Amino acid sequence: MEFKIFDTYEEASKYSADLVADVLKEKKDAVLGLATGSSPEGMYKELIALYKKGEIDFSEVKSVNLDEYVGLDGSHHQSYRYFMDVNLFNHVNIDKKNTHVPNGIAEDLLEGAKAYDELIDSMGSVDVQVLGIGPNGHIGFNEPGEELLVHTHVADLKEETIEANARFFESKEEVPTKAVTMGVGAILKSKKIILIASGKNKAWAVQQMASDVITTKIPATLLKLHPNVTVVLDQEAASLL
Ligand code: F6R
């Protein structure tokens, strides 16, 4: 696990975008594993800028997102499908048919989760997986617990996650309490992982990633088992290292 620390979030975002761009330059039909939330927003802006400069091309790229809230369809402004469209897909030449986000409104969520794993498997492996991290150490919506799940599943969001995400909604009560998320299996199977963390509220979780411990109670610590992880941080997120 390699830690890269930058003075500002903007510099961290630029570096993360360059890492993704390197993958795209090497493999035109790369499979990108994508995250939503504040952490990768800056990186998506940089990727759009690189695309506009003609440095990268998304025409053959496929993408799979980590997660989606249960109960929100893609037109809901806080759905992760909407986030991806607005923050990246609408601005680059990716074919929307090649972009995938778990279905949070499937009639049968378990069937939908199984189909999502089959879809990921059918794409070969994810070439680069982008991750954020929850203040409690969650990755995707794999929340801290006695055990973690390998496959895509429906997760109950922890109270602290609902509180952390309430900033995007009118009120805390509107935050969905469940999400469909890729399991840690798919995350660990990806060829390369870039985890972006910014701000003081991530410093504890980042410190745990740098420790010697692996525990399901801090899901991001499992990334220590992966051979190719770059953790990209601003000063505040790195403040306890
Ligand atoms: C989002 C996701 C989550 C976030 C995490 C951090 O797709 O999987 O794990 O990465 O909750 O969120 P932000 O970046 O908003 O602090």
Distance CA 232, CA 5 (A): 6
CATH topology of domain 2-234: Rossmann fold (3.40.50)
Distance CA 69, CA 109 (A): 11
What residues are in contact with ligand 1 under a 6 Å CB criterion?
35-39, 66-67, 80, 132-134, 138-140
Distance CA 85, CA 76 (A): 12
Instruction: Quote the mean pLDDT of the chain.
Output: 97
CA 14 to chain centre: 17
Ligand 1: centre distance to CA 140 (Å): 7
Across residues 186-194, what is the average pLDDT?
97
Across residues 89-104, what is the average pLDDT?
98
Ligand 1: centre distance to CA 158 (Å): 13
Ligand 1: centre distance to CA 40 (Å): 9
What residue segments make up the domains of the chain, in order of their start? 2-234
The predicted pLDDT at position 168 comes to 92
> Which atom of ligand 1 is nearest to 138's Cα?
9
Contact call for residues 241 and 13 (beta carbons, < 8 A): no
What percent of the chain is modeled with pLDDT above 90?
A: 100
Contact call for residues 157 and 178 (beta carbons, < 8 A): yes
The residues assigned a catalytic role are 67, 136, 138, 143
From the CA atom positions of the chain, what is the Rg in Å?
A: 17
Residue 222: pLDDT band with limits 50, 70, 90: very high
What is the residue whose two structure tokens read 């990921």? 120
Residue 142: pLDDT band with limits 50, 70, 90: very high
Backbone angles phi, psi at 201, to 5 degrees: -70, -5
Q: Which helix (H) or strand (E) holds 210?
A: helix 203-210
> Which atom of ligand 1 is nearest to 34's Cα?
7
Across residues 184-206, what is the average pLDDT?
98
Ligand 1: centre distance to CA 35 (Å): 7
> Which atom of ligand 1 is nearest to 139's Cα?
9
**C-alpha distance across the termini of the chain, in Å:** 14
The model's pTM is 0.97
Burial of 101 (0-12, 13-18, 19+ CB in 10 A): buried
> Which atom of ligand 1 is nearest to 181's Cα?
8
Query: Which of helix, strand or coil describes residue 31?
Result: strand
Nearest CA to ligand 1 atom 1: 36
Residue 239: pLDDT band with limits 50, 70, 90: very high
**Pocket mutation for ligand 1, best pick of 81, 138, 206 (most atoms within 8 Å of C-beta):** 138
The predicted pLDDT at position 83 comes to 98
Nearest CA to ligand 1 atom 9: 140
HEC string of 33-86 equals EECCCCCCHHHHHHHHHHHHCCCCCCCCCEEEECEEECCCCCCCCCCHHHHHHH
Ligand 1: centre distance to CA 132 (Å): 5
Across residues 185-194, what is the average pLDDT?
97
Nearest CA to ligand 1 atom 11: 134
Q: Which DSSP category does 139 fall into? A: B
Residue 10: pLDDT band with limits 50, 70, 90: very high
Across residues 188-198, what is the average pLDDT?
98
Q: At what angle do helices 9-26 and 41-52 cross, to 10 degrees?
A: 50
Residue 183: pLDDT band with limits 50, 70, 90: very high
Across residues 9-17, what is the average pLDDT?
98
The predicted pLDDT at position 209 comes to 98
The predicted pLDDT at position 4 comes to 98
Query: Which of helix, strand or coil describes residue 20?
Result: helix
What is the residue whose two structure tokens read 């799940």? 149
